[in-house]
Structure 1
Amino acid sequence: MKSVLLSTALVALSVLSANAQDSAASVELGLGVSVDPSFPGADDQQASPWLIWRNVQLGGGTTPGDAQGFSFSPSFNTIGERDPDDDADLAGLDQIDRAYEIGGQVNYGFGPVTAYGSLRKGFGGHEGLVGSIGAKYRTEVNDRFTLWSGLALGYGDDEYTQTYFGVSPSEATASGYSEYSPGGGFNTAIAKLEARYALTDSTALLGEVEYGRLIGDAADSPIVQDRDQPSVRLGIVRKFSFGF
């Protein structure tokens, strides 16, 4: 899947090259660490790499996250593997490999508010469609420090929800859990705080604190250990510009 991510990045840069004639294009790339539930519905946390790819801009652009009107940005995510050997409560359930989700996000900015909707296709651990809709409010603390506070709803289709929250007949027999076949739909309510501190014009520190609450069919799954799903992320990004 690393090759898939690399190929996607190269395609994105090719699109920038093809559409940004006589202008400039830029993208922010970075790396950090993310502390999330060890699997969807888990009651413990684990640390994993945070791959950051955001603020794709054509033309002169604006302050990161400050675009007005409609804009488009890439969206991707990873979900760690679920290994029954790591948790006695998962005994008898199928192992789920690490999943990679790749897609896009449509944004609409009006003043300090940005509304957005994202959609991603899963590969590896699940092959469903996932996404979110939400809005966030920007607060400029000073010239270098910016905060965004927001609310969102997370979505997963039938295939995604069945993968992480369902219990098949064979799993029910092996695990002792009741058979469960959840449907797709909104599965998470999210409150989020994002922070950005500009070290230089091209480099910034990012931080995110997120509180997610499982809802709908996902929340009713017998394998959910905790409906509360908090996460924390910290990373650094650098802006890469391309002139055409």
Structure 2
Amino acid sequence: MKIASNGPCLLASLALLACSTAHANEQAPEAQSEWKVSIGPGVMVAPKYPGSNKLEVLPLPALDISYDDRFFSQGLDVLGVNVLRDENYHVGAAVSFDFQSRNEADDPRLRGLGNVHWGPKLKIFADYSVSMFTASAALYQDIAGTGQGLLASGDLAINIPYPKGWIFSFGPGVTWANATYMRTLFGVSPQQSAASGLPAHQTSSGVRDVHLNAYASYDFSKHWTGSLQVTAGRLQGSAANSPITLRKTEFNGFAALSYRF
């Protein structure tokens, strides 16, 4: 199973991780069961909030469960379904979490801006693979009323298997965000400006970031796999120019040790 990646670096990181893990699993002998289960501990490093110059560490399970390549729970996609599927493509939907949030307590500069809470998003995705290449696209719509609007992403991954259990994957991606998302995460209204001291900043829909993903995994045995995902992104447009943004370059990492049943 391959899942389209999402634009914000946090989501792109784990989505490409899931995609590359799928390629790794395709190399291994398949069990007869329609169930495929891989689980283990993981740790993610990501910006404290979008545009932050500080990083935070978040423990997350490395989860990959699927049934008949139809229903799945994988990475940040808590529950999903491949509506259309074939050896080379998938089209489907999922309920996904990306944990994007911002609290006034995160930085003294944010006081007066109000908090932005994380919540579930409806994800619509499609991917297509040919030879070593996987192209993917996804839409993420806020369904929790957090004001995070709509995101659209496109990514390309080159998947390179190596002998002795190694898998490598890398490729570029881009994220577009609608006006609601940009206003919530990077805008500063006149009222927020007066309360925080930051200059007012009017945002608009447009490209949020461009990013590059790199992934590597190694099969220690038939059941144990170690993996590392690193994503570097560069904020663009309204996001890059926001007075909230302290660092335009975003770095994310996810390391995991998984047991495949």
Task: Give the 5 Å matches for 1:1-244.
Answer: 24-26=34-36, 28-54=38-64, 56=66, 58=68, 68-72=87-91, 74=94, 76-122=96-142, 123=144, 125-239=146-260
Q: State which drifts further: 163-172 or 84-93.
A: 84-93
> What amino acid does structure 1 have at the position aligned with 2:233?
G
Partner Cα distance (1:142, 1:214) in 2:
37
Contact 2:148 2:185 in 1 (8 A): no
Contact 1:191 1:212 in 2 (8 A): yes
**TM-score in terms of structure 2 length:** 0.71
> What amino acid does structure 1 have at the position aligned with 2:89?
F
Partner Cα distance (1:237, 1:124) in 2:
34
- Superposed CA deviations along residues 72-115 of structure 1, whole A, max 9, x for unmatched, are 46573423432222312212211122334342431110100100
Contact 1:191 1:210 in 2 (8 A): yes
Contact 1:100 1:125 in 2 (8 A): no
- The percent of aligned pairs where both chains have the same amino acid is 23
Contact 2:148 2:184 in 1 (8 A): no
How many residues matched? Answer: 213
- Superposed CA deviations along residues 156-214 of structure 1, whole A, max 9, x for unmatched, are 22221111101122101111222223122221110110112224444422211110100
1:76/1:31 CA distance change after superposition, 3 Å? farther
1:131/1:198 CA distance change after superposition, 3 Å? farther
Partner Cα distance (1:93, 1:34) in 2:
26
TM-align CA RMSD? 2.8
1:136/1:143 CA distance change after superposition, 3 Å? same
Q: Specify every segment of 5 or more residues in structure 2 that has no aligned partner in the other structure, as ranges.
A: 1-31, 70-85
Q: CA deviation at 1:220?
A: 1.4
Contact 1:100 1:124 in 2 (8 A): no
Partner Cα distance (1:144, 1:102) in 2:
34
What residue in structure 1 maps to residue 76 of structure 2? none
Q: Specify every segment of 5 or more residues in structure 1 that has no aligned partner in the other structure, as ranges.
A: 1-21, 60-66
Partner Cα distance (2:44, 2:130) in 1:
30
Partner Cα distance (2:130, 2:33) in 1:
24
Partner Cα distance (1:156, 1:99) in 2:
17
State the SS of the aligned residue for 1:179.
coil
Partner Cα distance (1:106, 1:143) in 2:
31
